[in-house]
A and B are shown apart, each in its own frame.
Chain A
Amino acid sequence: MNDASISIEKTGLGSEALRGLAGPGDYIALLKPRVMSLVVFTALVGLVRAPGDVHPVIAFTALLCIAVGAGAAGALNMWWDADIDAVMTRTRRRPIPAGRVTASEALAFGLTLAAFSVVVLGLLVNVLSAALLAFTIFFYVVIYTMWLKRSTPQNIVIGGAAGAFPPMVAWAAASGTVGLESLLLVAIIFVWTPPHFWALALYRADDYARAGVPMLPVTAGPDETRRQILFYTLFLAPLGVAPALLGYAGLAYAAVSVLGGAGMIWLAFAVYRRRSGDGAVRAARQLFGFSILYLFVLFATLLVEALVPGI
C-alpha cells in the first residue's frame, strides 16, 4: 500500500486523487486566493505607509512573500480541516474533499511554500519581517486551525490576530521596525474580525453545527451572538477613527471612518433587533457584506492619502 492510498484511507476522502487529476487551478485554490487578496491589499497599505524609502522591487518581493506565506497557511488550513470542509456546503468542493488533491499533497505544498516564503523574505528583505511572517503562519495554522477552531467559540476572536498581522509584517519589511501606526492597523482588523465572521455564522449556523465547529451561534445561540456583534462593533467604530484622531491620517480618512463606523453600528443594531425570519437573515447578510466594504474603504483611503499627499 503506498502513501497516497494510506492518506486516503485515513481521511476517507479523495477517492479520485489517485487518478492524478489535479490541475494548477486546484493548487491555486489551496492558497485561498480571495483571502490572499485581502492580505495583499492590507499589506500593501502597511508597506506604503511605513516610514522610509523602499525600492519597488524589494517592496514587490515583500508583498509576494507575504502573499505566498498567507497562501501556505491557507493550504495547511485546508489540509487539517479537510474533514470539516467535506461536510460544509460552502467548502465541500475544495480540492481535498472533492478528491482532486490528497491531504498529504496539500501538507507538502503548504509546508514547502511556508518555508520558502519565510526564508526568501529573510534573505531578500529583512529578518524582522520574516520572523513576523513565520509567527503569523504559525498562529494561523497551529493556534487557530489546530487548537482554537474546534475547541472554543472564541476561535475567531483570538484567531483573528493571524489575519490582522499582514500590514505589520509589510511595515516591518519596509522600515525594519514595528511602529505604533502599524499596530493600530492590526488592532482595527483584529476587532473587525468577530462581527464580520459572526454575521456570516448567524446565517450559516447549521453548516457549522453539522461540522462540529463551536462557532458562537452554535454554542451560545443567535441572540448572544447578536449582542457580541453589537459590542464589538461599538468598539470597532471609534477604533476605526483612531488613526485620524492620533494624527496618522487626514481629513478624508476621518470622514470615511466616521461614516463607515456609523454604517457598521446601524447594521449591527439591525442585526440585534431583527431576530427571526427572512429579515434576520437579510440583516446578517447586509452586515457581512458591508463589513468587507468598510475595511476595504478604510484601508483604501489610507493608501490614497499616502500616495496623494494633501488630500
Chain B
Amino acid sequence: MARREKKPDDGVVLTEEQRRRRRARSIAIAAVLGFLVLLFYVVTIVKLGPNVLNRPL
C-alpha cells in the first residue's frame, strides 16, 4: 500500500514512536489521577471518620 502523503491541513502527524511515548505519558497521568482520587477519598474518611454518615436533613 502506498504511504499516505501529508496534506497541508493534516496538522502534526506523529510517528509510531511518538504515538507510543504519548500513550505511555497518558497512561502515567491516568495512573496518577486515579491514585489521587483514591488518596483524597481515604483521607476524607480518615479525617471525618463516622461523621461522613452524619448528614442531618
The number of chain B residues with a CB under 8 A from chain A is 16
Cβ B46 vs Cβ A19 within 8 A = no
Stretch at the interface among A55-63, A90-98, A187-195, A225-233: A55-63
Residues of chain B contacted by A55 (CB below 8 angstroms): 46
The number of chain A residues with a CB under 8 A from chain B is 13
Cβ A23 vs Cβ B25 within 8 A = yes
Residues of chain A contacted by B1 (CB below 8 angstroms): none
Q: Does A246 contact B (CB under 8 A)?
A: no
Q: Which of A68-87 contact B (CB under 8 A)?
A: none
Residues of chain B contacted by A19 (CB below 8 angstroms): 15, 18
Q: Which of A41-69 contact B (CB under 8 A)?
A: 55, 57-58, 61, 64
- Of A20, A61, A124, the contact of B22 (CB 8 Å cutoff): A20
Q: Does A157 contact B (CB under 8 A)?
A: no
- Of A22, A57, A61, A64, the contact of B21 (CB 8 Å cutoff): A22
Cβ A20 vs Cβ B18 within 8 A = yes
CB distance from A1 to the nearest CB of B (A): 15
Residues of chain B contacted by A124 (CB below 8 angstroms): 40, 43, 47
Residues of chain B contacted by A64 (CB below 8 angstroms): 39
User: What sequence of 0s and 1s flags, for each residue 1-38 of chain B, a beta carbon within 8 Å of any chain A beta carbon?
Assistant: 00000000000001101100110110110000000000
Q: Does B42 contact A (CB under 8 A)?
A: yes
- Of B24, B39, B42, B43, the contact of A23 (CB 8 Å cutoff): B24
Cβ B22 vs Cβ A24 within 8 A = no
Q: Is the interface of A mostly helix, strand, loop or mixed?
A: helix
CB distance from A255 to the nearest CB of B (A): 38
CB distance from A35 to the nearest CB of B (A): 20
Which B residue's beta carbon lies closest to that of A20?
A: B18
Q: Which of B14, B18, B43, B47 has the most CB of A within 10 A?
A: B43
Cβ B25 vs Cβ A22 within 8 A = yes
Q: What is the CA–CA distance of A27 and B32 in the complex, to the nearest angstrom?
A: 13
CB distance from B39 to the nearest CB of A (A): 7
Residues of chain B contacted by A27 (CB below 8 angstroms): 25, 28
Which B residue's beta carbon lies closest to that of A64?
A: B39
Cβ A57 vs Cβ B18 within 8 A = no
Q: Which of A19, A24, A57 has the most CB of B within 10 A?
A: A24
Residues of chain A contacted by B42 (CB below 8 angstroms): 57
- Of A20, A22, A58, the contact of B43 (CB 8 Å cutoff): A58
Q: Does A21 contact B (CB under 8 A)?
A: yes
CB distance from A3 to the nearest CB of B (A): 14
- Of B17, B27, B43, the contact of A61 (CB 8 Å cutoff): B43
CB distance from B34 to the nearest CB of A (A): 14
CB distance from B27 to the nearest CB of A (A): 8
Residues of chain B contacted by A58 (CB below 8 angstroms): 43, 46-47
Q: What is the CA–CA distance of A61 and B17 in the complex, to the nearest angstrom?
A: 36
CB distance from B47 to the nearest CB of A (A): 8
Known: A58-B43, A58-B46. A21 touches B24 (CB 8 A): no
Chain B residues near A (Cβ < 8 Å): 14-15, 17-18, 21-22, 24-25, 27-28, 39-40, 42-43, 46-47
Can you name 15 extra interface pairs (CB under 8 A) apart from A23-B24, A124-B47?
A20-B14, A20-B18, A20-B21, A21-B18, A22-B21, A23-B25, A24-B24, A27-B25, A27-B28, A57-B43, A58-B43, A58-B46, A61-B39, A61-B43, A124-B40
A-B contact pairs, 24 of them (CB 8 A): A19-B15, A19-B18, A20-B14, A20-B18, A20-B21, A20-B22, A21-B17, A21-B21, A22-B21, A22-B25, A23-B24, A23-B25, A24-B24, A24-B25, A24-B27, A24-B28, A27-B25, A27-B28, A57-B43, A57-B46, A58-B46, A58-B47, A61-B39, A124-B47
